[in-house]
Every structure is written in structure tokens, then in C-alpha cells.
Chains A and B, each alone.
Chain A
Amino acid sequence: MEQPHSGRRGAEAVLNLQPGSSISVAHHPLFGPHDDLILLELDEKLLPHILHQRVTLRGQPDEDAVLCTPSKTYGIKFVGNSNSVFLIPPSDHSILCEASEDHNGKGHIQQASASVIKVAPGSMELVEVAPRLDKLRLLLSENPYRSGEALQFEDVDGMEKCITGLYTWDDLVDKVQASDEELRTGLMAFSAVEINGYWRIVDEEYMGKLLMALFPSSVLNDWSLNALNEDEVVGALVQDGFPQKLAHHCLSVYGSKVGEGVNGSCLWSLDERRVCVHFAREILRRGKRKMESLMEEWRRKIPEGMQASFDMLEGEVLTEKLGVDLWVRAFSVSALPLTPAERFSVLFKERAKWEWKDLQPYIRDLKVPGLSLEGLLLKYTRRIQPTLDAEPIFSAR
């Protein structure tokens, strides 16, 4: 074997070691624990995000940090390695020179060997996780937008008073462990709206007021509920005293854009299911009802031209037989925790045993990276199926 190659000192010498040659390996002049040097295992496809500085760590001091790309969230765990992992930096590594200023001569010794700066005890690994949106809902629920607030904001003092529990986009990014894209999706899923720079959930009673103002206007102006002109609707609601932002929000919560109208204004169609569910929830907010009573009042409340059917209330209500009567009470999946363990815990507290057809609407929204619905059921439930053609029953593990 040839003599050690003098003058080449670092990683490149090791990586480019030619056949028939050798290099000595030594401790770096600045060898040490260097706890500030961390190894992070990273999938190749995440590399562009890192290189373009689109990756951040998010979390409060009391939370386990997560790593966020623009669209995904990853849990971080340290994995130890019982092997001795000698870490060798490139020879011209400037980061280490900061420390070498104190060491005068030491840092400038010509190394004829590859230098090991530290022995890495392990590395960080990433695991894709669901964004922690339960916290987002919690924050947004601290100060929902209610009737009367429109007036409060005109009064400066009033504005100071209601400043608690209000969060801007930047506040939410700071407090919620989710990527930007997942945060935006979450805000949409919670029907949040940005008012005066703050993201708000609007109280259901207030939304009801908006709807109730919309219907008489539509009758008066002979509007079709399937082709509502955005400008006309918003204009009429503003006339009735509602802020423009919320008039617009009413359309996006209860309808969908279907096209463009004559003068460039958007056309909206009210979603029958969403409108009907709103009225059913309104009725059941006052307490549980007998099926017949619910259906009768419900049919009276919904607007002309819409049909209410009980299956619209899937994932919104639970039924129970008390004596000869079937009673209905509110139980909305939208109010349940988003993390599987907690979701199943709440569901089994509500009912010890669930039939699949009843359970499905309350778990189909659960999204855990790497786990299918079957996987979730396997993990969190016990399945009982007495005979092959009997309905499977699920209970807590």
C-alpha cells in the first residue's frame, strides 16, 4: 500500500480514497462532543425544500417539536446508534473555524489525516404525522364572532376589550403544529373567516341570523337559490346591517360557487344539505326530540323548495329507543377530537358498542399518515361478529 496522502485532510479524502491507497484517521484538533452538531435523516424528496429554506421547526417550548415543509408535518425522534459513528467534515469546513480562533496554532496544524470532529450518538428521524389541528379549533373557539360584535368594533375601547383569544395568521403559525397548507385547509374545514386580520369561527346563531335574512330577500327579489348573484346578496345583507365579510362568508358556508353572472359577479348555489342540517342543529340545540316532533318542526323551518331527509343528519345525530319512542339528539362529528385515540375514546364513552353503519360517519374523516381505516379499527377497537352474516359490532379495546 502507498504512503498516506499528505495535505488532504477531510471528508473528500475519505470518500475519494483510491484503490491501492490509504489515509490515516485521527481526532480533529477540535474534537469534542459538539452537541450542537446534529444528524437529520431526510428523504431525498424533501431535500429541495431544505435547500430553498422552506422548512421550519414548529412548536411551543412544552411541545415536542415538529418539522414542517410547506405542505406536510413530520414528528421528530432521536434514534440512538450503538455503533461508533465517526463524523468527518470536509477539510475546508468553515463553521469549525469559529471555535478555532481561541485555539491559535491548533486549528492551523496541517493534518495529514482525515479528522474526526465527533462521534455521533445517533440521528434524528422524521415520521409523517397528521397536523395538530385540535389546537387550532381550541384557539378559534376562545373568541367566536357573535352578534353584537359588529357594533363593538366601531368603538375603539370595545376593540381593546375583546382582544383576547384573537389570532392572526402569524399567531396561528406560531402556535399550531401544522404546515402552512394544512393550516389553511384546517381553517377552511372549520369554516373560519378572516376579519380585521384575525381568523374567527362564527357563532352558529349568528350564521342562522344571516341565513334568515337571506331567505326573505330572495323571495322579495325573486332570486333562485341555485343561482344567487353574489353582489346582490351581499348588498342586501349589508343593507340589513351585516358586515360585508360575513355576508360573503354566509354564501361560502352554505353554498358553492357555480359560475359567473352577467356583470362579472359570482353565482352561488345554496347547498340543500348544509342548509337543512343547519336548521336541524338549531332545533336540537334546545335538547333531544322525538323523531316525529323533530321531522315535523324541521320541515316547517326549511326554505321553500328544499327537502329534508333524515339521512342528511348522518354524523350529526344519534338515535336511541326509549320505550316505544325513537329519540334524536345532537352529536356532531365536527365537535369531536381529530386525533384517533381521543376520537375513539369519546365515541366509546358515548356508546359502548357501535354497529358499523353508525360508527362509519364518525370515523371516516380521520386521517393518519400510514394507517388506513381498517388499520385504525384494528388499533383502537375490538370487533365482535358472532356469525358471518351478522353485523359486526365495535367496542373499545
Chain B
Amino acid sequence: MQIKIKCSCSEESCQEWAIVEIQGAIEIQPSFQNRLDNLDIGQLCRPSSPENYTFTVGYHELAGSKVPLKKPFLVLKKKKTINVEQQSSENDSPGAELEVVGIIRHRILFKTRPKALISKPQPVVKKRASATGSSAPIK
């Protein structure tokens, strides 16, 4: 069985996607678990100094930088094809297609311990750090 990896981007013009990567996971308040669409996560800032970025989620501020990937990532989309004439020959209809929809060459990586900004108001989304024992959420 063969599945061709399709690519409709022309040479060098593959759309570039972005990655923001943090250690740990974000925690959504229970009342918003089912309404994730459009829900704010945080603020990504680039202060004046060249390669530094900050990402503020809830009352945590993370420090990071834009890092080029050692090897680029391709973003592939898997599509199921519905084939009416599937009985005739097994060779032509694998039932799935793969297409390149983008490429990723950089990620904004945050891997330091988050800094707590205690004066900020409690938001809907907060950062759950994997290492620190953060305080319980305040309603």
C-alpha cells in the first residue's frame, strides 16, 4: 500500500507555522472546560532586548527565547478519502491521504521557572507549573 505525501506549496514558499512551547500545562477553570474556542491563554511579549520573550499566563510570567529547530517540522494533514469503487483494486485506494500544510522552523521556548506576579487579578486560565508547588486558586 502506498500513500503519497502531497505538497501543494511551491518551492521555498511552504507556509510557516509557529510553536509556543512551555514546560508543564495550562489549567482551565472548570466552568470554561467546554468553551475553549476563543478563550484567551496569555500574553506574549517581546521586551526591547533582542532575543528575549515573556509569556504571561494567569499570574505566572515565563521567560524564554525564539529558538531555531535543529530539524524543521512539517505539518501534515491526514485526510480520509471515501472511495466508492473500493472493491475493484486494492492498489489505487488506500483510503487516506497525507498533505503538507505547513513547515515549522522556529519555536518560542519557555523553559525557566515561572515567576509569580501576585498582584495580577485571578484570570480564567492559569499556568500550572510542573515543578513549583503553586498556591490554590482563589475564587
Contact = CB atoms under 8 A, between A and B. Distances in A.
B127 to A, nearest CB: 9
A61 B1 contact: yes
A58 B15 contact: no
B73 A25 contact: no
Interface of A is mostly: mixed
B43 A57 contact: no
Interface string B33-45: 0001111111111
Contacts of B1: 58-61, 174
A10 B104 CA distance: 13
Contacts of B19: 85-88, 120
A41 B73 contact: yes
A28 interface: yes
A82 B11 CA distance: 33
Contacts of B21: 83-86
Contacts of B36: 27, 31-32
Contacts of A15: 16, 18, 66, 106
Interface in B22-59: 22-26, 36-50, 53, 55
Interface string A81-112: 01111111110010100000000001001010
Contact of B22 (A56, A61, A83): A83
A53 B4 contact: yes
B121 interface: no
Contacts of A80: none
A65 B20 CA distance: 30
Nearest to B54: A22
A352 to B, nearest CB: 41
Contacts of A51: 7, 9-11, 14
A116 B14 contact: no
A295 interface: no
Contact of B73 (A116, A123, A173, A174): A123
Nearest to B14: A51
A90 B5 contact: no
Contact of A50 (B5, B10, B16, B78): B5
Given A61-B1, A84-B25, A39 B40 contact: no
Nearest to A28: B37
Nearest to B103: A47
Interface in A1-57: 1, 4, 10-12, 14-15, 17-32, 35-44, 47, 50-53, 55-57
A120 B75 CA distance: 11
A207 interface: no
A29 B37 contact: yes
B39 A19 contact: no
Contacts of A35: 78
Contact of B5 (A14, A30, A55, A59): A55
A113 interface: yes
A237 interface: no
A311 interface: no
Residue of B19, B26, B40, B42 with highest tally of chain A CB at under 10 A: B19
Contacts of A82: 23, 130
Contacts of A157: none
B97 to A, nearest CB: 10
Given A12-B16, A89-B102, A53 B38 contact: no
A234 interface: no
Interface of B: 1-7, 9-11, 14-26, 36-50, 53, 55, 66, 71-79, 91, 98, 100-102, 104, 106-108, 130
21 contacts: A11-B18, A15-B106, A22-B46, A24-B41, A26-B39, A37-B75, A39-B73, A40-B74, A40-B76, A41-B71, A44-B71, A50-B100, A56-B2, A56-B5, A57-B2, A83-B24, A84-B21, A85-B107, A89-B17, A116-B20, A120-B19
Nearest 8 pairs between A and B by C-beta? A22-B45, A11-B18, A14-B18, A88-B18, A36-B78, A57-B3, A86-B20, A27-B39
